[in-house]
């Protein structure tokens, strides 16, 4: 299948489309600004309440007649442009495929070679988020604004969080908690230290991620790091930006003040200031992007809080965790180690609320990237980390859908691995305001490696956004039916394997997206019992109507987005870790016994919030000799103040069971 790198098959149609949109855009922009001036966010209301001169009201009185006059003057040109634009959409392609042009930062081909050296398995990390990048006037109905600035900041935070180095500290003995100065020196300077001392031993495994600027994240590791990987074999050798630090037992758990001071100096020296990107001044004017003390969402400050950057996994035995935390704090490597132990011992994977996107994020699925200018800004930022991006997905006008479509599907896909095939389908049964957008499903096939026998190893990823209107249960169930059928057709049409000649080995099949129903609401029973959940597994779900106790909602209460308690990633993380905090800032499943308002509701509520953003995986249709299991699942607060949804992330381990696949 040919991947479309431009929206039209020839340059003449592209020029004609640009001309027609140039005639429409002034009218579109003026209408957007006019409506936006009358739909204030809660942040703007608070600012205006403190303005004794009513300056903003005066501005509206002056600018409204000007906007109206210009809008009326631009209408004839917009009509001409629309008459040209609409028929052109029948020739428009359903998506645009963008590949990073800077070859010095491209590493997709390098990643493909890592599978052969992965030993008994390799992990892949998936992320999904609804980013609410609508035209500014419409975004304000969700209490977010400044779409163009938000798009840039969202992309910046995602790539900075995903491209930060992942530093792993292994304790040699389950009872040994001493940490040498040499080990911490290596932790502060990932490419320093003696790599020959890197060893892996069963015991406590601590994964620590330090701050990272991400400006050169296209090439995620230096030559020294690659050499270290060549000399050391770890469980997930394919992970980049990793530094393995050996914790031995030579110091009896003590560290001298001289060693501590040296470590502190190294820590500060290793955190250079990052130059402001173009447009940062504009971003800082909005509350969505105001960097406060302790806000580490963008990893921009040496003094930023490092809480939630540390992840502890007890592999075998016991360890004196308090001693380790004390030493880490003393060394100033991190603020305080936050140990999130599993509340249920029968759980087979780690789960957490994290202030950052996972390090070494491989695939990203976004929803509600409706605004085309915002999509370009977002793509530009994501290309600092992701080499392959599919965006502007969907159809316009009446092309191949039952109703007129004013905006695209809002789907965007970014990958570190090469995209082999892509297909898009529009849901034909949208109702109400949802029918104005070409909501649908994007299907992708990616190559993630090859075997020593030169068999391609591939994976399938689907990204979708279902009907949003409450009560449209039947519509969503029909869309889930279509999703399954289309995915089955896509896999058949893109597969080049047969039982007799397996040219490809399928490693994973994942579905991500905003499904607009939760697993605990009494009004969503039909969706909860859909056959999709018999073929695909939801890591957060026990069964229809019951989530696992650690799973939390992903839909934030829009009214509280700018409250001091939740306006930064760290603050939002702390709030969501408490039951009372979740009741105050998450939307809860609807119930006939409760009103829809969140205000003052502190009574007993079902579940931990309305979870409508899903990540599903299956073991069906994969290579039979391999096993797929979840390693980690995260609810992410890094986009606090930028969207009304919580991003989610899942790391899958594909185990081959052999030294070589």
Q: What is the pLDDT of residues 215-225, one digit of tens each?
A: 444 444 343 44
Task: Indicate if 3 and 117 belong to the same structural domain.
Answer: no
**Summary count for the chain: helices (H), strands (E):** 17, 19
Task: Indicate if 472 and 373 belong to the same structural domain.
Answer: yes
DSSP-assigned states of every residue in 489-554: HHHHHH----SSS--EEEEEEEEEEE-S--SS-GGGHHHHT-THHHHSB-TTEEETTEE-TT----
Is there a domain that residue 175 lies in?
no
pLDDT at 344: 47
Is there a domain that residue 290 lies in?
no
Average pLDDT, the chain: 76
Task: Indicate if 9 and 150 belong to the same structural domain.
Answer: no
Residues of the chain with pLDDT > 70, as a percent, come to: 66
C-alpha 53 chain-centroid distance: 42
DSSP-assigned states of every residue in 67-84: HHHHHHHHHHHHHHHHHH
Lowest mean pLDDT among 488-502, 570-584, 590-604: 590-604
pLDDT digits (tens, 9 = 90+) for 132-189: 999 999 999 999 999 999 999 999 999 999 988 766 554 554 444 333 333 333 333 3
Task: Indicate if 119 and 24 belong to the same structural domain.
Answer: no
pLDDT at 504: 87
pLDDT digits (tens, 9 = 90+) for 308-324: 444 444 444 444 555 44
C-alpha 18 chain-centroid distance: 31
Which among 45, 64, 93 is the end of a domain? 93
Task: Indicate if 12 and 155 belong to the same structural domain.
Answer: no
Lowest mean pLDDT among 178-192, 230-244, 502-516: 178-192
Which among 60, 93, 126 is the end of a domain? 93
d(CA 133, CA 145): 9
Task: Indicate if 556 and 467 belong to the same structural domain.
Answer: yes
Task: Indicate if 38 and 131 belong to the same structural domain.
Answer: no
Q: Specify the DSSP element, H or E, that contains 570.
A: helix 569-576
The residue range of the domain holding 497 is 94-101+113-166+345-589+606-655
As given in the structure block, the two tokens for residue 391 are 């965006």
3-state secondary structure of 44: helix
Task: Indicate if 584 and 511 belong to the same structural domain.
Answer: yes
Report, as residue numbers or ranges, the catalytic residues. 645
Question: Would the pLDDT of 339 be above 70?
Answer: no
Is there a domain that residue 273 lies in?
no
Domain count, the chain: 2
pLDDT digits (tens, 9 = 90+) for 631-644: 999 999 999 999 99
pLDDT at 242: 52
Q: Are 163 and 237 in contact (CB under 8 A)?
A: no
Q: Is the dihedral of CA 283, 285, 287, 290 positive or negative?
A: positive
Strand order through the sheet with 440-450 = 419-426, 440-450, 456-465, 504-514, 613-617
Is there a domain that residue 515 lies in?
yes
Question: Would the pLDDT of 434 be above 80?
Answer: yes
pLDDT at 496: 74
Q: What is the DSSP letter of 334?
A: S
Is there a domain that residue 187 lies in?
no
Is there a domain that residue 549 lies in?
yes
**Predicted structure pTM score:** 0.78
pLDDT at 400: 62
pLDDT at 607: 66
Q: Which residue has the tokens 């986009």?
A: 639
As given in the structure block, the two tokens for residue 46 are 């608070």
pLDDT digits (tens, 9 = 90+) for 271-305: 333 333 334 444 444 454 444 444 444 444 333 34
Lowest mean pLDDT among 227-236, 242-251, 354-363, 480-489: 227-236
Question: Would the pLDDT of 325 be above 70?
Answer: no
Lowest mean pLDDT among 221-225, 397-401, 573-577: 221-225
Strand partners, 423: 443
Is there a domain that residue 332 lies in?
no
pLDDT digits (tens, 9 = 90+) for 7-48: 999 999 999 999 999 999 999 999 999 999 999 999 988 888
Cα 34 to Cα 64, 136, 229, distances in angstroms: 7, 10, 56
Task: Indicate if 405 and 551 belong to the same structural domain.
Answer: yes
Task: Indicate if 129 and 44 belong to the same structural domain.
Answer: no
Which pLDDT band holds residue 101 (cuts at 50, 70, 90)? confident
Is there a domain that residue 248 lies in?
no
Task: Indicate if 395 and 443 belong to the same structural domain.
Answer: yes
3-state secondary structure of 88: helix
Region 107-128 average pLDDT:
79
d(CA 566, CA 582): 11
Instruction: Provide the pairing of β-strand 121-133 with 412-415.
Output: unpaired
**What is the CATH classification number for the domain harbouring 369?**
3.60.10.10
pLDDT digits (tens, 9 = 90+) for 517-556: 999 998 999 999 999 999 999 999 999 999 999 999 999 9
Task: Indicate if 508 and 622 belong to the same structural domain.
Answer: yes
Highest mean pLDDT of the ranges 82-86, 109-113, 274-278, 653-657: 82-86
The alpha carbon torsion through 379, 385, 390, 391 (nearest 10 deg) reads: -20
d(CA 247, CA 589): 46
d(CA 357, CA 154): 11
């Amino acid at each position: 299948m040919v991947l479309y790198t431009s929206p039209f098959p020839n340059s003449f149609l592209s020029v004609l489309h640009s001309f027609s949109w140039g005639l429409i855009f002034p009218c579109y922009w003026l209408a957007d600004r006019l409506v936006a001036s009358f739909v204030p966010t809660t942040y703007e209301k608070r600012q205006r309440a403190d303005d004794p001169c009513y300056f903003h009201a005066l501005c509206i009185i002056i600018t409204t007649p000007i906007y109206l006059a210009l809008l009326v003057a631009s209408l004839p040109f917009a009509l001409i442009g629309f008459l040209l634009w609409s028929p052109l959409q029948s020739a428009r392609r359903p998506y645009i495929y963008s590949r990073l042009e800077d070859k010095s930062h491209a590493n997709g081909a390098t990643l493909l070679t890592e599978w052969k050296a992965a030993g008994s398995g390799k992990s892949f990390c998936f992320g999904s988020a609804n980013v609410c990048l609508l035209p500014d006037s419409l975004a304000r109905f969700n209490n977010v604004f400044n779409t163009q600035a938000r798009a840039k900041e969202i992309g910046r935070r995602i790539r900075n969080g995903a491209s930060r180095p992942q530093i792993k500290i292994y304790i040699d003995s389950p009872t040994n908690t001493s940490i040498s100065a040499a080990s911490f020196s290596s932790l502060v300077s990932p490419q320093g230290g003696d790599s020959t001392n890197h060893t892996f031993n069963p015991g406590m495994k601590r994964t620590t991620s330090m701050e990272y600027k991400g400006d050169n994240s296209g090439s995620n590791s230096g030559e020294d790091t690659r050499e270290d990987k060549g000399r050391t074999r770890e469980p997930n050798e394919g992970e980049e930006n990793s530094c393995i630090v050996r914790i031995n037992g030579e110091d009896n758990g003590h560290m001298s003040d001289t060693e501590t001071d040296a470590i502190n100096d190294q820590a500060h020296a290793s955190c250079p200031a990052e130059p402001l990107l173009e447009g940062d001044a504009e971003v800082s004017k909005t509350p969505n992007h105001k960097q406060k003390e302790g806000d580490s969402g963008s990893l921009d400050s040496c003094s930023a809080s490092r809480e939630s950057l540390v992840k502890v996994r007890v592999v075998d035995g016991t360890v004196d965790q308090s001693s380790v935390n004390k030493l880490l704090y003393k060394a100033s490597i991190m603020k305080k180690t936050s140990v999130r132990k599993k509340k249920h011992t029968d759980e087979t994977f780690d789960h957490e609320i994290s202030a950052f996107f996972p390090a070494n994020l491989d695939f990203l699925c976004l929803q509600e990237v409706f605004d085309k200018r915002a999509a370009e800004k977002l793509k530009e930022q994501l290309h600092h980390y992701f080499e392959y991006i599919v965006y502007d997905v969907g159809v316009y006008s009446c092309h191949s859908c039952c109703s007129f479509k004013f905006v695209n599907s809002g789907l965007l896909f970014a990958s570190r691995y090469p995209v082999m095939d892509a297909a898009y389908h529009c849901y034909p049964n949208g109702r109400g305001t949802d029918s104005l957008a070409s909501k649908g499903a994007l299907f992708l096939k990616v190559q993630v490696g090859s075997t020593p026998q030169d068999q391609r190893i591939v994976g399938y990823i689907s990204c979708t956004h279902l009907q949003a209107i409450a009560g449209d249960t039947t519509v969503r169930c029909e869309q889930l039916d279509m999703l399954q059928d289309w995915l089955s057709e896509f896999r058949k049409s893109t597969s080049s394997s047969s039982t007799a000649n397996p040219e490809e080995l399928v490693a994973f099949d994942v579905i991500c997206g905003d499904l607009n129903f939760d697993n605990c609401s009494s009004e969503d029973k039909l969706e909860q019992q859909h056959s999709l959940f018999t073929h695909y597994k939801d890591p957060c779900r026990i069964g229809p109507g019951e989530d696992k106790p650690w799973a939390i909602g992903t839909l934030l209460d829009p009214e509280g987005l700018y409250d001091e308690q939740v306006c930064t990633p760290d603050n939002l993380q702390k709030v969501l870790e408490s039951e009372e905090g979740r009741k105050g800032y998450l939307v809860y499943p609807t119930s006939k016994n409760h009103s829809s308002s969140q205000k003052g509701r502190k009574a007993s509520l079902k579940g931990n919030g309305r979870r409508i953003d899903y990540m599903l995986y299956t073991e069906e249709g994969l290579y039979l000799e391999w096993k797929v299991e979840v390693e980690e699942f995260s609810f992410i607060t890094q986009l606090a103040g930028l969207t009304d949804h919580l991003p989610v992330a899942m790391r899958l381990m594909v185990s081959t069971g052999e030294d070589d696949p």
